[in-house]
Amino acid sequence: MAAVAANPPAATEDPEPQREAVPGLESQRRQIKNGESGQERPLRAGESWFLVEQHWYIQWEVYVQGGDQDSSTFPGCINNAKLFEDQVNWCLKKGLVEGEDYVLLPAAAWHCLVSWYGLEHGQPPIERKVVELRGIQKVEVYPVELLLVQHSDMGTPHTAQFSQTDSIDLVLRTAREQFLVSPQEETRLWVKNAQGSFERLCNTRVTVLDAALKSGQLVVMETRSKDGTWPSAQPHAVNRASKEDEDFQGQPGICGLTNLGNTCFMNSALQCLSNVPQLTEYFLKNRYLEELNFCNPLGMKGEIAEAYADLVKQAWSGHHRSIVPQVFKTKVGHFASQFLGYQQHDSQELLSFLLDGLHEDLNRVKKKEYVELCDAAGRPDQEVAQEAWQNHKRRNDSVIVDTFHGLFKSTLVCPDCGNVSVTFDPFCYLSVPLPVSHKRVMEVFFVSMDPRRKPEQHRLVVPKKGKISDLCVALAKHTGVSPERMMVADVFSHRFYKIYQLEESLSSILDRDDIFIYEVSGRSAICENSREDVVLPIYLRERTPARDYNNSYYGLMLFGHPLLVSVPRDRLSWDSLYHILLYRLSRYVTRPSSDDEDDGDEKDMEDKDSIPKPGHMAGGSSQDPGPEQAGPSSGVAGGSRAPVDNSPGPSHWPQRARRKHLFTLQTVNSNGTSDRSNFNEDTHGVSFSSQPYIAIDWEPEMKKRYYNEVEAEGYVKHDCVGYVLKKAPVRLQECIELFTTMETLEKENPWYCPSCKQHQLATKKLDLWKLPETLIIHLKRFSYTKFSREKLDTLVEFPIRDLDFSEFVIKPQNESAPELYKYDLIAVSNHYGGLRDGHYTTFACNKDSGQWHYFDDSSVSPVTENQIESKAAYVLFYQRQDVARRLQPQPGLSDPPVPPACSSPPNSEFMDVN
């Protein structure tokens, strides 16, 4: 009930005309007191009861008990004057008590008394409803009095009375009637709470009691502006800009979205969804208001649907060049923490969340029943599919299901017992794989044993699932060096991050890794007594003054590219090792002249058999060579591959009694820090207890004089570097065929066979059974494995019109309606860039004009159809042709009337029902 106190109804009872014959006094007493229509009858919710002033009622009781109709105790007309504050507004006095100030009579008893005695002229009857509050029936003597105001005129309240069982929708309709709001305008309510702040009354289907509204509370009605915004949602700083936008009139739907900081992924998904015609019409015509589901535990209390509706109404108002989706972004982050902040995300992931959120917020099923999934068990596909779809609709029924949901047929076959399991599952979009090349292009640097040759950069084509040995075989074709004489290493921060074995998988090498392949000797030893060779990892370090205040010790910093050098394990002196390394560095290290040798500093002079070795290093330090830390090394195999350097030994060089040494040698660990555990320090030779790493330590002055950094960093490009692995374009139909191809389940995702009673790597096949009105196709461009991540930039050729699915749908088809299987493109979400960074944009076709536009955040520009297909296409939106024809306006017919924003649900002919 809703009664406006300022305009009380006039008395409807006529005291004199057509008065019924008055029964006897005893009969009167029995009718009023007892019986089905009497005062003692039980209360029933929804009934009307009336208040009668206590003194008049007592007088009447005395009169009927006396038994004399001519007695002076005759009560006269019913007079309730003592119950009113005044006789102008006829407001009930506060604090009246039943049994002291008034009695309550059911409607039948009240009408009898009025017909026998009449009602004081001008007085309104005091009618009140019986309500059920928490299981108790009671007459609501004092309704809730609310102060209704408009958002644009907060200073003029209007009082209206409502029962606690009245819905908020009645409050809204009363306010709309009072303030003369047209049916086309959308309104919403706010209530001022005890703290003075305002709260939204979102769910108009709850009662005044459930909304905890109290008498005297201020209820504000807000009307949506022409540009689709709510006045309360506009900050004062942008009010002027909003007024300017109201004057702007453009094509509805041609509206950009401001990038809030890495939110291009969100803008792209929103623009695609906004250009799905039937979904946008659903929101623009306010059909969503009656389907908001505020009590769904899987939903978001209607907030995502309302936030999306606000965006759609603004974008399609025609009054904005661009809008700021800040409120929507905040709502998404509130309900999906992965989208909090301003990190880059995937447009398809946001689209998936948004479709699911809209579905649950608009789910027409208020209470989901338990549905048991049933296997086909040999039944016909048609029967099983219909059962699966009906079960899905029993729990999921929304505009999202009507528009985007289709049905798969999933077939699993056990490899052991041959048991076949057939189920039908709903889907919201198709994630189709791209045909992937089994080849991979890798860039490496080849370092020859010949010190005169610069390192060569090669671009090699290898199997994606190949091994390190395949990489060596590919390089051998370019260099002529046998794969047996190659070692592969990952170089990071001047040190070996990892040295690979031939059997290791190439998948562990990322595209960004710096891979060096070194030529080593191919000689290997089998017998224990034969000579063995070992490959030494060699680092370059420079001695730098430490930051100590007295420079009491020196630090060591790695620089340059490390080397792998083959040396004999036995009969190797430090002097011969020095000369082997000097020879390997001869391209960019200048040997001292004879004058330099004679002028050498005394401290740099050594006997020829006493080259500086680990135990006698001057200024040796275990300090870490640099701020960067490399990962663990795999070490180098000494027995299976024991190459020897073919460089000329010291005997080929002239010997002098005294000479200057350019650098000193130090044993280190794989990180390049000092480690003396690997060598036995023998003055006459070098013996190995385990695989060592050797550091060549330079004094700054010597490095400056004899080490050519420019030459050391130089390299040449092999002809193969210009090779580009050509990627032939693929048709969208090929991707769909690949999607429906039979596959074997992976070990991480086995299937439990109910026949074998164990998990099996079954074969699985997906088929399309039922397609939706709007089909979303997600191209799986991003590939993630344990060791690698890549983006596939293959060009996918997709048709703008007449994408025919008749060859892919296995459900028996209707030959007379081929348009049920043909689709036209309406939107594309694009991704430009790589895995770590990128940018999202949108191509979309305007539902009103049919013109294609390019949406790049806040920028919108028209495009032609031949610009749409590109390598950036990521998510495709297709609309079924029969739906497109149905949505086209028919000539001579006007659009159906837009239901008011607070009206009852629209007729089914206006609803797109699947």
Active site residues: 264, 839
Report the C-alpha gap between 428 and 611 in whole angstroms. 75
Q: In terms of C-beta density within 10 A (0-12 exposed, 13-18 middle, 19 or more buried), how is residue 591 classed?
A: middle
Residue 148: closest CA among 58, 88, 210, 218: 218
Report the C-alpha gap between 311 and 288 in whole angstroms. 14
Rounded to a whole number, what is the distance in angstroms from the first to the last CA of the chain? 37
Only one residue has tokens 């798969």, namely 408
CA distances 469 to 17, 535, 690, Å, are: 114, 18, 25
Total Cβ atoms within 10 A of residue 734: 15
Report the C-alpha gap between 903 and 914 in whole angstroms. 23
* C-beta of residue 38 within 8 angstroms of C-beta of residue 109: yes
Q: What is the H or E stretch that residue 730 is in?
A: strand 730-731
CA distances 655 to 590, 607, 609, 757, 914, Å, are: 17, 11, 11, 81, 95
Size of the chain, expressed as the number of residues it contains: 914
Report the C-alpha gap between 371 and 387 in whole angstroms. 11
3-state helix, strand, coil in the chain (%, to 5): 25, 30, 45
Report the C-alpha gap between 32 and 113 in whole angstroms. 8
* C-beta of residue 19 within 8 angstroms of C-beta of residue 115: yes
Three-class HEC string of 544-571: EECCCCCCCCEEEEEEEEEEEEEEECCC
DSSP string computed for 784-847: E-SS-EEE--PPEE--SS-EE-TTTB-SPP-TT-GGGGEEEEEEEEEEEE-SSSEEEEEEEE-T
Report the C-alpha gap between 676 and 669 in whole angstroms. 9
Q: Which are the contacts of 376, defined by CB distance < 8 A and separation ≥ 6?
A: 384, 421, 422, 423
